């Protein structure tokens, strides 16, 4: 069995790094590109390219690499798509959306011109001819240069150029908006962008002179970056438009980005432990590496947008809006024990005036801190103390090298959990909670073997390949290390291997799942070296033993908790082009009788809802989520300064009221102002870095632990129901 699992684990690793780290070098970066010579003037003329502009060009090496990538995609991607007119059409839409997601660069006439090549791309790509893609890219460069020159000329006289007392609005989502008719409409959009930035600076408290300087720095920096673009950037953007037309996890990493990918995979880099991607002009946090500095700080969350980075606790914040993601990553990286200051727009917020400045101490991610940990929580039930064991698993880890070398004490999730359970049994636990919140995955083998600690034997996950063949991982050992009441905690950031384990526990009727709908990462990726770069492509899909996919839908809990992440911003379903949920054949397995689960679940839900109905902790989480959802769903913002200030005051008032209701209910002193709630910036304090104490809000308020506490209450009820029925697994 171990040999079989070992071979399988070498082929398929459900890794948070592979599942989400791709976002560090995500292709939907709005690139800033350098200028070079053009090719194929006939096609360029058809696309309306200005021949006076230097253009990026592709080389024979680029053409050869393109052919190799197309070959691998055609032969190895899970979907088995053919390069035909349908795919060509999809590639064009993807490419244009990547270059101009806000529809503020291309006009409708230019989009009509692009239609001439809608069905060319498949034929040209197969031959390594990148001319159509580079022609569009050069039009993008030309218009980007025009836009930035226009805005830079408007900055010095913005006080006379613009009025901020009308009814104009800026659209926050132009995905379904029509393309501008002409350049006059484009200039209106560019003016609105500039006006919105000015109002945001005003709401941050900047004076007019500082606003002019900040605008000048931002847009001249973007112009400088535009002029630094090279052909490698053009190739990466076009080829990733092709790759992501298959699915969002299929991407090409050019040499420089391959190095970043390898560093992140090894977790050896000293930094903050955050996985990033570019979203429009911002750098967005996708996930946090378990036990990394950012995760432990409690200050950074998935969905946060980074708009500035500074060195030390009081260093000047460098504006990073519109920067390349590798440049932002380089600013965030730094030596161990040094501080980095990060200016963020918190998840669920919109507009840079809702910013916060956080300070995180850089460090290495320590393997021992990612290991499973245990604790015992005592609960009172009917005058008796009930001991409930909790095992927290941040990631599914496995020391492959130690295993391959036959080391007796190599580390793995299953081995560690085995010994932790043995210790908990000696402490007379009556129920066990497995906490998989924020566990983004890891070694597939560990999800299989960990499931085996709780079931007799049988399959745990099914893997379907491109050719339709299905393989299964199975627990062959009939022994069970723990056969008492079991609850698995999950949330939106529980992904991959976490979903396989939770899904198996659910399908076998072995325990209850509580929390939130999980991430929905049910695909497998492999890495293929391409010259000096790497191609990551999806080559398989996971299915539960019940036949249901974990893809897109994830695992639906038996008992829901208030969400702490916005599912529209995070999770597989939030990614454009994500593969759909579907079903396969049911595996041959024998679940435990569902009589207890059915009997217990309705009563557990009823007691849970009654318990949290007026619980201030749960009320707080619900109100915070509803506020963030309201802000996230904003479609536009006023470009009237007074109306914007009024709206900001309205949101600040609601946020302060929510926070103070919670604090009052918990017997804490309410905050006197929104500024006190958000804490002041260390740069405004006349003290040295070492004198500043960075507080961890998670530890300070323990808001997230209320979910574990309530899970313990549910377990207490579950234990009583199990005992009353005399049930054993």
Q: Which of helix, strand or coil describes residue 193?
A: helix
d(CA 392, CA 433): 8
Owner of token pair 């290390």 = 481
Spatial contact of 659 and 677, defined as CB atoms under 8 Å apart: yes
521 is a catalytic site residue = yes
Paired tokens of 188: 């209106």
List the one residue out of 276, 289, 293 whose CA is nearest residue 328.
Answer: 276
Q: Residue 534, Cβ neighbours under 10 Å: how many?
A: 18
Spatial contact of 651 and 624, defined as CB atoms under 8 Å apart: no
CA angle 208, 209, 213 (to 5 degrees): 115
Spatial contact of 574 and 553, defined as CB atoms under 8 Å apart: no
How many helices (H) and strands (E) would you count in the chain?
25, 19
Paired tokens of 514: 């509580």
User: Which residues have CB under 8 Å from 499's CB, separation 6+?
Assistant: 490, 518, 519, 520, 521, 522, 542, 550, 554, 555
Given 22, 144, 287, 496, which residue is catalytic?
Answer: 496
260 is a catalytic site residue = no
State how far Cα 636 lies from the chain centre. 24
User: Which residues have CB under 8 Å from 27's CB, separation 6+?
Assistant: 98, 236, 237, 240, 241, 243, 244, 251, 252
List the one residue out of 243, 629, 302 whose CA is nearest residue 495.
Answer: 302
Given 521, 536, 541, 624, which residue is catalytic?
Answer: 521
- Return the H-helix or E-strand segment holding 402: helix 400-404
Q: Which of the 8 DSSP states describes residue 280?
A: T
Q: Which of the 8 DSSP states describes residue 572?
A: G
Pairing mode of beta strands 486-490, 512-515:
parallel
d(CA 581, CA 579): 7
Owner of token pair 């659209």 = 171
Partners of 644 in the beta sheet? Answer: none
Q: Which of the 8 DSSP states describes residue 585?
A: P
Angle between helices 231-243 and 131-155 (to 10 degrees): 120
Q: Which of helix, strand or coil describes residue 580?
A: coil
Paired tokens of 704: 């997230």
Q: Residue 468, Cβ neighbours under 10 Å: how many?
A: 8
DSSP E strand boundaries for 88-214: 169-171
Owner of token pair 């707080």 = 620
Given 507, 558, 617, 717, which residue is catalytic?
Answer: 507
Angle between helices 183-203 and 641-665 (to 10 degrees): 40
Compute φ and ψ for 667, nearest 5 degrees.
75, 25
Active site positions, annotated: 496, 507, 521
């Amino acid at each position: 069995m171990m040999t079989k699992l070992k071979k399988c684990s070498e082929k398929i690793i459900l890794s948070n790094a592979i599942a989400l780290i791709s976002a560090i070098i995500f292709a939907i970066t709005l690139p800033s590109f350098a200028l070079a010579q053009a090719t194929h003037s006939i096609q360029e003329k058809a696309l309306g390219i200005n021949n006076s502009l230097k253009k990026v060009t592709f080389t024979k090496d680029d053409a050869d690499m393109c052919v190799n990538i197309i070959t691998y995609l055609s032969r190895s991607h899970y979907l088995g798509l053919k390069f035909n007119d349908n795919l060509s059409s999809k590639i064009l839409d993807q490419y244009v959306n990547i270059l101009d997601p806000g529809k503020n660069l291309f006009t409708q006439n230019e989009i009509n011109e692009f239609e001439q090549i809608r069905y060319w791309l498949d034929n040209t790509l197969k031959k390594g001819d990148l001319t159509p893609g580079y022609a569009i890219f050069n039009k993008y460069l030309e218009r980007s240069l025009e836009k930035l020159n226009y805005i830079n000329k408007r900055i010095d006289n913005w006080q006379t150029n613009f009025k901020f007392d009308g009814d104009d609005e800026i659209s926050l989502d132009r995905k379904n908006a029509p393309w501008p008719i002409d350049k006059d409409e484009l200039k209106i959009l560019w003016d609105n962008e500039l006006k919105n930035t000015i109002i945001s600076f005003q709401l941050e408290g900047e004076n007019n002179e500082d606003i002019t300087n900040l605008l000048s720095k931002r847009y001249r920096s973007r112009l400088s970056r535009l002029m630094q673009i090279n052909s490698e950037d053009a190739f990466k953007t076009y080829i990733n438009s092709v790759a992501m037309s298959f699915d969002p996890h299929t991407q090409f990493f050019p040499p420089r980005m391959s190095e970043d990918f390898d560093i992140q995979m090894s977790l050896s880099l000293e930094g903050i432990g955050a996985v990033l991607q570019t979203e429009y002009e911002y750098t967005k946090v996708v996930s946090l590496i378990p036990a990394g500095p950012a995760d432990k700080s409690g200050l950074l969350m998935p969905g946060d947008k980074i708009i500035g980075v500074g060195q030390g606790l009081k260093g000047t914040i460098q504006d990073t809006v519109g920067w390349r993601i590798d440049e932002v990553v380089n600013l965030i990286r730094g030596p161990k024990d040094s501080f980095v200051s990060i200016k963020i727009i918190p998840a669920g917020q919109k507009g840079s005036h809702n910013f916060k400045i956080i300070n995180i101490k850089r460090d290495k991610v320590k393997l021992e801190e990612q290991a499973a940990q245990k604790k015992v929580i005592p609960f009172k039930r009917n005058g008796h103390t009930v001991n409930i064991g909790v095992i927290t698993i941040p990631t599914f880890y496995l020391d492959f090298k130690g295993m391959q070398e036959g080391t007796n004490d190599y580390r793995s999730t299953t081995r560690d959990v085995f010994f932790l359970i043995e210790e908990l049994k000696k402490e007379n636990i009556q129920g066990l909670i497995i906490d998989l919140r924020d566990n983004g995955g890891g070694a597939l083998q560990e999800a299989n073997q960990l499931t085996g600690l709780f079931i007799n034997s049988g399959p745990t996950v099914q893997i379907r390949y491109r050719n339709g063949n299905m393989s299964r991982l199975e627990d062959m050992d009939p022994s069970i290390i723990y056969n008492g009441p079991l609850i698995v905690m999950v949330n939106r950031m529980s992904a991959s291997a976490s979903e396989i384990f939770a899904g198996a526990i659910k399908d076998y009727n072995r325990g209850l799942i509580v929390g939130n709908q999980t991430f929905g990462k049910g695909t497998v990726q492999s890495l293929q070296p391409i010259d000096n770069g790497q191609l990551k492509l999806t080559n398989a899909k996971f299915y539960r033993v019940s036949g249901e996919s974990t893809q897109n839908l994830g695992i639906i809990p038996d008992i829901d908790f208030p969400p702490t992440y916005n599912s529209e911003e995070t999770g597989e379903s939030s990614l454009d082009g994500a593969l759909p949920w579907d079903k396969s054949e049911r595996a041959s397995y024998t679940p435990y009788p569902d009589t207890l689960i059915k009997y217990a679940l309705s009563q557990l839900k009823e007691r849970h809802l009654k318990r949290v109905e007026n619980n201030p902790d749960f009320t707080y989480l619900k109100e915070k989520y509803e506020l963030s959802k309201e802000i996230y769903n904003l479609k536009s913002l006023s470009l009237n300064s007074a109306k914007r200030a009024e709206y900001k005051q309205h949101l600040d008032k609601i946020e302060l009221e929510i926070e103070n209701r919670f604090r009052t209910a918990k017997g804490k002193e309410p905050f006197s102002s929104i500024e006190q709630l958000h804490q002041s910036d260390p740069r405004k304090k006349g003290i040295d870095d070492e004198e500043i104490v960075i507080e961890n809000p998670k530890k300070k308020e323990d808001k997230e632990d209320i979910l574990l506490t309530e899970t313990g209450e549910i377990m207490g009820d579950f234990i009583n129901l199990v005992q009353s029925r005399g049930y054993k697994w």
